[in-house]
A = this chain, B = another copy of it.
Amino acid sequence: MPHVDTYHHAHLRAALLAAAETEIAEKGVEDFSLRRVAKRTGVSHSAPKHHFGDARGLLTALAAKGFQRLISAQNERKAIAGPKAVDQLLAAGLGYIDFALQNPALFRLMFASDRPNKDDPELSSACGAAYQHFITQALEVGSEPDQATGIYAIVHGVADLLVSGRIITMQSMTASERDFRILQIFIKNLPIINQ
């Protein structure tokens, strides 16, 4: 089956998404080019049309996938954390920040880009699910809604400031030093955690 990998192969959609992710990681969201993504995938530059319509469609699908992985990153941390609700919440926060630091360009695509189509149902549902996922965990430690929103904001704020390089003092830290410092920031500010 010599053509399986190059012709009608079932994985082109996934391959294009992976290549688009590499593209934004290397070039940044602002220099994204659909033609380069096709080139990376080893396919003609009009091939993506059949799967995503246009460049915006591909970036929309990629952003939606990002929100799913944002949840996964939280779950990975939670799996190795203690069972108490507060430890699960802190783990989720660290997982959220892990995702941002490991996928800065994708994080920007999800939160700070106009290129994905926010009216796309798949994207808005993935985005809403990620938001609800975190908020639910915050409510499970006994927070009021405003507290839960604030916990989300502080987690997102730390993530965004680290991605944009505005918390200078963490840039030379090891991962575990950084985790410790982030936990200190949470613990010293969020009374619900210390109850």
Chain A positions 7-52 with a Cβ under 8 Å from a chain B Cβ: 28-31
Bound together, the chains give a CA A150 to CA B131 distance in angstroms of 20
Chain B residues with CB below 8 A from A128, complex form:
168
- Which of B108, B160, B184, B192 is close to A157, meaning CB atoms less than 8 Å apart? B160
Number of copies: 2
Contact B114 A28 (CB under 8 A): yes
Secondary structure at the A interface, as helix, strand, loop or mixed, is: helix
For A155, list chain B residues within 8 Å (CB): 157
List 12 extra interface pairs beyond A111-B166, A189-B190, CB under 8 A.
Answer: A28-B114, A30-B114, A30-B115, A112-B112, A112-B113, A128-B168, A146-B181, A146-B189, A150-B185, A150-B186, A151-B189, A152-B161
A binding-site residues for B, Cβ under 8 Å: 28-31, 108, 111-115, 118, 127-128, 131, 144, 146-147, 149-158, 160-161, 163-168, 181, 184-186, 188-192
